Structure 1
Amino acid sequence: MSTLYTETRIGNMTLKNRFIRSATWENMATEDGHMTDKLYAIYEELAQGEVGLIVTGYANIVAEEKPNAGMMGMYDDTFIGEYQKLTELVHQHDSKIVMQLAYGGTKTTHNVGERVIYAPSAVCEKGTQTLGKAMTKDEIDYIVQAFAQASRRAQDSGFDGVEIHAAHTYLINQFLSPYYNRREDQYGGSLDNRMRLLLEIYAEIRKLVGDEYPVLVKLTASEFFDGGLTFAETRLICKKLAAIGVDAIIISGNIHGKANTMIGESFDGYTIQQEGYFHEYGHVISEEVDVPVITVGGLTDIDAIEEIAHKTNIQYFALSRPLLSEPSLIKRWKEGNRAPVECERCSKCRTRRGNFCVVNKDRKSQLAKL
């Protein structure tokens, strides 16, 4: 059997295979971020489909801020009971589940003008053109503690770990970026200073959850534009995270909606690939750190995934859109059915009624009945 189906560990979390459902905003939570029957059904179906590790859609850590409607919340203790139900559902099927935690910042067009949006500096996000408020030290401390408290709630809820979202131009990524971070205090300038927010968040999380609880960090390989975070800097960040005890690193990008046109282009000496957009970057990092590296983005072909696993030190493979179309895809592959995936990479799965595959009509009708 393929080594993709052998038992492995992320920290003290044992996984039955090397497949991960990457963090996916489902747009199906209530207005204030609470669980719904549709969300419970989605996660249980993924667990039944043999996904080794499920990462939730990003959860907002403070009540007054969320980058999108319909996202899950983790900003107070009222969520713990309903998330205990969620984690129990997943664990019944021998899958593991991690909660992704995020502060969105200016990577948003949701309710802009109706709330204060924090940023490292007064620089518009390139895609949204949203301008945020440069944070004071007190505001930075507030967000650091919010991440830590959300992690404590995740642990109390039975989640097997947490994932810190430090990618995709959300707040932590912007602090890491020399383009977005123009600060002149201890949080700006040198890479050590730009890393400070992420390292403080990690340290405060550890104080509340202990040293044995898995903490993962998601990073952008490169910002893919002049003046942005470079891959050389990301490599240094990864080495620092490994040294302080992070349990796994997810290497992603921020090319939503542009992936098909960027395939084959090279940035920082490496190329965005047709299968596994960022796996060349992940491969380099996997050779430099002693913690598991997870690649995410553009993975649809089991043969290609096996080749990456064979030729690189990348240990885990995270998928989203293919699992929106086929929640039982991992089980199908395990059973030997290597027919092409139903996902067409059309990215039409983001709808106002929730995020689901609109190409796979059977799947769409199933969700409509929930």
Structure 2
Amino acid sequence: MKKLFEKTQLGNMTLKNRFVRSATWENRTTKDGHMTDELYKVYEELAKGEVGLIVTGYANVVKEEQPNPGMMGIYNDSFIDEYKKLTDLVHEYDSKILMQIAYGGTKTTYNLGERVIFAPSEVAERGTNTLGKPMTKDEIDYIVNAFVEAGRRSMEAGFDGVEIHGAHTYLINQFLSPYYNKREDEYGGSLENRMRFLMEIYSKMREKVGHDYPILVKLTASEFFEGGLTFEETRIICKKLEEIGVDGIEISGNIHGKAKSMVGQSFDGYEIKQEGYFLEYGNVISKDINIPVITVGGLKDINNIDNILNETNIDYFAISRPLLTEPNLIKRWKDGDEKQVKCVRCSKCRTSNGNYCTVFNK
């Protein structure tokens, strides 16, 4: 019988439990993405709260690309020393920490007109209606290299690994998607071509950081609309990522803010679940591949999570908003207090003064 509070291996990381803080935009950095005392405190509380693996809010890999204010940066070497302080702080509590790295692209309405926003093709993002500049091959190479350097900086700063964000209609996801990617070169058309951008990022990063440094990828299970990336395509992508050496995969979705209202609906033959929105998709993938799978979304009851652990092949359970309400949640559960989370999933935690629980932590 598998246990939630047991040591496991993810790549070359030894994790003390199976709980992950999924990447969460804290809106607590300086204007240019540097750390603040307030943000150090956020991560210290998570580590004190016994989170086994903390994934940072996503860090932009080029300076000119910041889709929301207060987001972390990793676009030059000036971040390395302050992130060393962060990783040392987290490691004091025997937690591990990954830097999530991304290029957001057109899933933004922030500072439009003041910057160039890249996209695979001239197709507006469905939620924001933002159009991007179709990328040239030189621009693709520029962003690939930016990811690679972000991976190198993360390693030098003491992060235990990186997570490449390939979900949520961000740039990598758009290259994978037949809806957003209308290219007619080697980066568009067939799934093999649409995967090329992600595969180049991973392969070149692996060359830079070496074989032993954990690299994870976050993917969308399905785009949940006609003409978008399908779950069957995602399964193929996951198998390819395992083949080339990725250490683990987090399965999410492209329905931010809407998942709760979509519970019970089926897409690609699988149902969005009340406890673990993308659980069925993650379970299928966990049987397809032999590297760890992380599920995220809607997890709030430790007994249900324990059942999922022992009834599926899913290895890890990522939580975001409940940890804004209770940073000590995992410790509380570990200590035997198994009450459900306080978080009511009202999504009022995004404020202009930082993202935090406005119901219980006023």
TM-score (norm 2): 0.99
Distance 1:51 1:261 in 2: 28
Dislocated runs of 4+, deviation >4 Å: none
Alignment of 1:61-76 (within 5 A): 61-76=61-76
Distance 2:90 2:15 in 1: 13
- The one-letter code of the counterpart of 1:126 is R
SS in 2 for 1:42: helix
SS in 2 for 1:317: strand
- The one-letter code of the counterpart of 1:270 is Y
- Counterpart of 2:271 in structure 1 is 271
Aligned partners of 2:2 and 2:309 also within 8 Å: no
- Counterpart of 1:141 in structure 2 is 141
TM-score (norm 1): 0.97
- Counterpart of 2:131 in structure 1 is 131
Aligned partners of 2:2 and 2:310 also within 8 Å: no
Distance 2:120 2:281 in 1: 26
Deviations 1:222-263 (A, max 9, x none): 000000000000000000000111000000001112112100
Alignment of 1:154-233 (within 5 A): 154-233=154-233
Distance 1:278 1:339 in 2: 23
- Counterpart of 2:26 in structure 1 is 26
- Counterpart of 1:101 in structure 2 is 101
- Counterpart of 2:311 in structure 1 is 311
Deviations 1:299-335 (A, max 9, x none): 1111110111010000000000000000000000011
SS in 2 for 1:222: coil
- The one-letter code of the counterpart of 2:67 is P
Distance 2:110 2:242 in 1: 34
Distance 1:181 1:191 in 2: 10
- Counterpart of 2:324 in structure 1 is 324
Deviations 1:124-169 (A, max 9, x none): 0000000000000000000000000000000000000000000000
Deviations 1:49-83 (A, max 9, x none): 00000000000000111111100000000000000
1:340 CA displacement: 2.0
- Counterpart of 2:345 in structure 1 is 345
- The one-letter code of the counterpart of 2:139 is E
1:2 CA displacement: 6.8
Distance 1:289 1:319 in 2: 23
Deviations 1:186-242 (A, max 9, x none): 000000000000000001111110010000000000000000000000000000000
Distance 1:107 1:52 in 2: 30
| 1:260 pairs with 2:234 | no
Aligned partners of 2:301 and 2:339 also within 8 Å: no
- Counterpart of 1:298 in structure 2 is 298
- The one-letter code of the counterpart of 1:168 is H
Distance 2:260 2:159 in 1: 34
Distance 1:44 1:2 in 2: 28
Distance 1:308 1:26 in 2: 29
Distance 2:240 2:257 in 1: 31
- Counterpart of 1:284 in structure 2 is 284
1:282 CA displacement: 0.2
- The one-letter code of the counterpart of 1:304 is N
- Counterpart of 1:367 in structure 2 is none
1:44 CA displacement: 0.3
Distance 1:2 1:357, change over 3 A: farther
Gaps of 5+ in 1: 365-370
- The one-letter code of the counterpart of 1:161 is G
Deviations 1:262-307 (A, max 9, x none): 0000000000000000010000000010100000011111111011
Cα RMSD for the two superposed structures: 0.8
SS in 1 for 2:25: coil
SS in 2 for 1:35: coil
Paired-residue identity, %: 71
